[in-house]
Structure 1
Amino acid sequence: MKSIKNFLGVAVVFGLLVSCSQISQTRENDETNQVSQTNELAKPLPKQIAFADWEVGAFIHFGLNPFTGQEHGDGKESPSKFNPTELDAEQWVLTAKSLGAKYICLTARHEGGFCLWPSKTTSYTIANSPYKGGKGDIVQEFVDACRKHGLKIGLYHTSSHDTNTGLSWYDGPIGWGPSRDSLMGIAFQDAEFKKRYREVQMAQVRELLTNYGPIDFMWSDHWGAPDTEHVWHPITDLVADLQPNMVFMGPETWVPGNESGHVVYPMWNAVHTLDGTNYTRPAPNKGDVDTENDYGLLEGEVRTGHPLGAYWRVRECPTSSTFHSGGWFWHPGRTRAKELPEHIDLYYRTVGLGANVIINLPPDTRGLIPDDIVAAAKAFGDEIKNRFGNPIAGSDAIPAGNTFELSWEEPTEVNTIVLMEHIANGQKAVRYTLEAFLDREWVELKHANKFPSARPPYNSVPGYETIGHKKIDRVEPVVTNKIRFRSLESVHDLPVELRKMQVFNCEPYMK
């Protein structure tokens, strides 16, 4: 890599930064160029519907980082520092189950490049650590625990961000964000290096998706990042070939533009893409924005989607410091569980607005999730079951149409209505209203959805607009025995297809 080192210099790095910024700013796409000329709506694959039904996931961020204090990993720290003495993958899985998670995702290899399995592609693995005398395979332990306790299996791997493989030639400090990306841009000017880097990434993904049986989900961090198509295009094809039934983040799911558990609303799962194919990120509509994140997130595009979008992407909201403080990885003195009201608010503003939420549960240097986070996970799961386990009334046999009445025998107080759209036939609801039968007439319910933590472009008072997979509407309390859904506007004036409607009376969770 001596030829690469010769490229180094302030002027070159600065020039690359400017170039990357200009490319990012010019990649806006006018959605009108891609709008379908037919009434055909984008529809999710069966595996995307199943993924949306999982709703709550758990994220296990673990690797060298808790032992080094790094969040992203510079690829320089020695594997000898990795030595969790009490690691218990079953504890991770059981904590996730108590959370109510249906799936759990392990950082098999994070951005620093350290592999939690004995990969044949690199020496930067647990095979060169003290863990189990170099004979361990944490991916295998994790997969076995998931199968034993019935959780869907997810693995994290990021092919565009592998600092050990990509920047081992560089002797200086490696920061995150523009600093790291400019150095990678320099490295990729060497065609032979670019090829070798891609081969390592493809070989690692092949190991993960062939050595451990069926995998249900892969979090492909930074999928489609600018100027990384030489990695992501072949990886996307490889994944589809190796595990066609697996949900792959990027072409099948997407993040909402933040790591704090907020989803844009109104929100459409259908999207147009930057180049009109399923290989690139969602394109902006007029009015959509990009946000900056003090954590350095590369996925800061806030996209509302489009009712006539060509591709279906389930939204999944990550939570780096929302369920707990301190970042994705455990850090002593910084990683502490937050309070239950904040956790319930997180649920309402993600699952309650039609998205999945993946909640971080980071193990410490013992290899165990700390006690306070374990307790918080169980409290969250218990509270969600308590709130939504026993509806006052409900129906999942709802004919397509613009109105539906749900009734029950005795009038009772109602303050929450849950709607689910039959998304197998596309997302159709644009505007609707909810009404209660009071004093022999139908009266519109005033919605009481409030999210004080939401800041523009995220909606702090979402009303009656899109439904998608699920919409949880809090309303001003009424005593009734009849609730009516009424569609006011739909895509192409098609009849809205509700999959489910339920009513509840839930305790307030915020003062």
Structure 2
Amino acid sequence: MGPLSPGRLSRRNLLAATALGTAATTLPLSTGLLTPAVAATPQSILENLINLRFGMFLHFNMGTFTDEEWATPRQNPTRFAPSAVNCGQWADAAVSAKMRYGVLTAKHHDGFCLWPTAHTSYNVMNSSYRQDIVAQYVNAFRARGLRVGLYYSIWDRSYDVQAYDTHHSVPADQFIVPGDITFILNQLRELLTNYGPIDILFTDGWTWQMGQQDVPYQQIRNLVRSLQPDCVMIDIGGLTQPLIGDAIFFEEPLGIRAPAGNTYAALQGQTISNGWFWHPSTPVDNPMSLSSILDHLADLEPKYTSFILNCPPNRNGVLDTNIVNRLAEVGRAWNPNPNRPPLPPQPLRAEYPVTPVNAYATSFRAGEGPLNAIDGHHNVWYQSCWSTYGGPALPQSITVDLGGVWSNVSTLEYLPKQLSRGSGNNGDITSYTILTSTDGVTFTQATSGSWAGDVNYKVAEWSPRNVGFVRLQINAATGGYANVSELRIGGRTAIPTLVSRLPITSGSYRIAARHSGGTVDVSGVGTADGTNIHQWQWAGANNQRWTFESTGDGYFEVRGVHSGKLMEVAGLSRDDNGNVALWADANVPQQHWAITPVGGGYYLFTNRLSGKALTVAGGSTANGANINQLTYSGLPQQQWQLIPS
């Protein structure tokens, strides 16, 4: 969750101040998000979610004891020191308010874990309260008929699961490595295996920190679906459209509220006190007023949005009396409306996504290249887009490389530009053609159609098939140019399974530039870390031969035969003209390359860290011309032939 300020908190009082009358009936309390007699479908799961109406958010973690909204990482775990933890009291207070579920911060952005995870020592078993709080919480809430949710921050500032991010002061030497993804998957496996049915999983610090490509949405979602198929995934990312999870989270303290007429399944979060976490002023401050809470419930119920009210436990592990009393007042004054119409049909989704490794386009505006359309990166204050604004006339296209051929691919989700929108000229796609390919060269039309030219989420479908590459051709758009905030591709009714990767054999290759025929060569037959890589005419030497090793997730390491070392972008450069050099294998993203066919037997090499393309500097044809990285623009010095050697 974002940091709060009194100014932001005051927004909770902007809704009307009229209290609700007490309804005569209450909704029956279900035994789960789905009753056993109902088949689990995306629609029915979301219907049951929003029928929970009202829930309790529980921010209880290291920040409770440090008076911080975002606790400083790597503190002494003994600072977490509740005298006791009474999850039964939390649950009783929730029941008294007619809440029907809870969500507990199992791990916040500082990385301290409320369960005895095996994957970091920064957890409750090394604190001053050596008990499994997640277990206590789920047992107490279930014992009172309440549904249980968990909040898990992908961003972990103690384990250093984070990527370079100027918005949140994360330095340039930070990036996601494969071990980070394994760490996340292992911790989620613990939470989703050891604590029974988990009805809701909140993730945070993902879309708005490193994005859902760096930490692949496909891997996280597949794990959750395999362990908890009825669990609703909600990522906190500032979006008001259903793209980054199953349901939307409107974070009210940041000014994000369910709009009038909303029909998307959603939760809206607000805090009863001044902060998400407990602070010394919490027990003496006046909590959110009864009338304001009732107004929220009245406003959100017809918008198919559950109100999740944060109630932070104190340093004694209980809710303060002023909060308990306010919740009891709510329960005496409010009942859910049993006559609300059923949830309208929800948009079709790529329920089983495939995380791409690369994208290229026929045109783009400087700084708004095609990789922005697949980075899964968004927040309330900023967005990334692929845009053709100011470029050639439509039609234009973007081609997405899925990092292999996958079965059962049938669906494309499109999110138009969300922020800084003008009037009718935002580049919203209104006419499209979608083509697919298994080799990246020969494309077949899968579908075509039209979309409304507006801000709303869009979807296109075709018959399930094997797909390695998807090309979205924009035929028409508002303003005469295209804007794509995000694309998501996958299967809707069946899980895509990997059919094949790029057909590169186990032998060695010469990598020859299209414009010159010159070969990628290690300067001076060097073997030291940092040895420069440049262009040289083919001489059959081992410093000109390379092997390709799959990373297992769509990328390749490119290894020099003579040295056994890898081709990498030097110095963690993310800039145009960043140098390319030799370095020992460290299994890091600057050593990983997406290798994408572009036709004619040539390939584009895109670095995983920087998103830049392997390029002969200046298009030189001379021996010794430097090889560096540059934003891909389809130049022949950026296209490479792989010749068995």
- The TM-score by the shorter chain falls in which range? 0.5 to 0.7
Deviation at 1:95, TM superposition (A): 0.8
Over 3 Å counting, the alpha-carbon distance change for 1:421 and 1:73 in structure 2 is same
Given candidates 156, 174, 181, the residue that maps to 1:187 is: 174
2:215 counterpart (207, 227, 231): 231
Q: Name the aligned partner's letter for residue 275 of structure 2.
A: G
How far apart are the structure 2 equivalents of 1:164 and 1:207? 19
Change (3 A) 1:149 1:419: closer
Change (3 A) 1:353 1:376: same
Residue number in structure 1 paired with 2:341? 420
Q: Which amino acid aligns with 2:215?
A: V
Aligned residue identity for 1:327: G
Tell me the amino acid that sits aligned with residue 331 of structure 1: H
Q: CA deviation at 1:167?
A: 7.0
> Per-residue deviation at 1:349?
2.3
2:6 maps to what in 1? none
Q: Kindly tell me: are residues 169 and 355 of structure 1, through their superposed partners in 2, closer, same or farther at Cα, counting changes over 3 Å?
A: closer
Indicate the residue corresponding to 1:362 in structure 2.
312
Tell me, yes or no, if the aligned pair for 1:223 and 1:249 is still in contact at 8 Å.
Answer: no
Q: State the distance in 2 between where 1:120 and 1:264 align.
A: 42
Whole-angstrom CA distance in 1 between matches of 2:62 and 2:132: 14
State the distance in 2 between where 1:108 and 1:48 align. Answer: 23
2:186 is the counterpart of 1:203: yes
1:255 to 249, 256, 268: 249
Query: Which residue of 1 is the match for residue 422 of structure 2?
Result: none
User: Relative to total residues, which structure has the larger strand share, 1 or 2?
Assistant: 2
Cα pair distance change 1:138/1:238, threshold 3 Å: same
| Match of residue 137 from structure 1 | 132
Which structure carries more relative contact order (alpha carbon 8 Å, separation 6+)?
1
1:330 aligns with 2:278: yes
Residue 349 to residue 342, structure 1, CA distance change in 2 (3 Å)? same
Question: Aligned partners of 1:422 and 1:65: how far apart in 2?
Answer: 37
Cα drift, residue 181 of structure 1: 5.2
- What amino acid does structure 1 have at the position aligned with 2:170? S
Q: CA RMSD in A?
A: 2.7
Deviations 1:348-381 (A, max 9, x none): 2222432111111100000000000001111112
Against the structure 1 CA distance between its residues 315 and 344, is the aligned structure 2 distance closer, same or farther, given a 3 Å change threshold? same
Aligned pair partner of 2:230 in 245, 248, 260: 245
Runs ≥4 in structure 1, deviation > 6 angstroms? 167-170
8 Å contact kept, 2:113–2:124: yes
Mark the CA change 1:186 to 1:348 in structure 2 (over 3 Å): closer, same or farther. farther
Aligned to 1:146: 141
Q: 1:363 to 1:261 in 2, by over 3 A?
A: farther
Match of 2:259 among 260, 264, 281: 264
Structure 1 distance, partners of 2:296, 2:207, is 27
Aligned to 2:578: none
Q: Is the CA contact 2:163–2:210 (under 8 Å) kept in the aligned structure 1?
A: no
Bigger CA radius of gyration = 2
Match of 2:444 in 1: none
Q: Which residue of 2 aligns with 1:379?
A: 329
Say whether the 8 Å CA contact 2:138–2:195 is kept in structure 1.
Answer: yes
Q: 2:228 corresponds to which letter in structure 1? A: Q
Structure 1 residues 243 and 316, CA gap change in structure 2 (3 angstroms): same
CA distance in 2, matches of 1:235, 1:145: 28
**Residue 95 of structure 1 contacts residue 374 of structure 1 at CA under 8 Å; is this kept in 2?**
yes
User: Residue 319 and residue 106 in structure 1: after superposition, are their counterparts in 2 closer, same or farther (change >3 A)?
Assistant: same
Q: Which amino acid aligns with 1:420?
A: P
Say whether the 8 Å CA contact 1:157–1:219 is kept in structure 2: yes
Q: How much does 1:111 deviate? A: 1.0
**8 Å contact kept, 2:162–2:170:** no
CA distance in 2, matches of 1:169, 1:341: 42
* Aligned-residue offset at 1:180: 3.5
1:139-197 deviations in whole A, cap 9, x for unaligned?
111111122111001111021x1111117999xxxxxx8453533x5311xxxx62122
Structure 2: 5+ residue stretches without partners: 1-40, 236-244, 349-418, 420-645
Tell me what 2:54 maps to: 56
Using structure 1 for the length normalisation, give the TM-score: 0.54
Shift of the alpha carbon at 1:338?
Answer: 2.2
Amino acid at match of 2:109: E
Corresponding position of 1:351: 301
Partner amino acid for 1:328? W
Distance of 1:50 and 1:199 partners within structure 2: 32
Number of positions where the alignment pairs a residue of Structure 1 with one of Structure 2: 295
Q: Establish whether residue 218 from structure 1 lines up as the match of residue 201 from structure 2.
A: yes
SS at match of 1:212: coil
The equivalent residue for 1:102 is 100
Q: Structure 1: any 5+ residue segments left out of the alignment?
A: 1-42, 171-176, 270-313, 390-395, 397-417, 428-456, 458-511
Preserved contact between residue 187 and residue 194 of structure 1 (Cα < 8 Å): no
Corresponding residue for residue 340 of structure 1:
290
More deviation, 222-231/63-72:
222-231
Task: Flag the 1:195–1:344 CA change in 2: closer, same or farther, 3 A.
Answer: same
Matched position secondary structure for 1:47: helix
Q: Is the 8 A contact 2:73 2:157 kept in 1?
A: yes
Shift of 1:54: 0.5
Residues 242 and 353 of structure 1: is their aligned pair in 2 closer, same or farther, counting only changes over 3 Å? Answer: same
1:319 equivalent among 265, 270, 278: 270
SS in 2 for 1:359: strand
**Which residue is 1:481 aligned to?**
none
Q: TM-score, normalised by structure 2?
A: 0.43
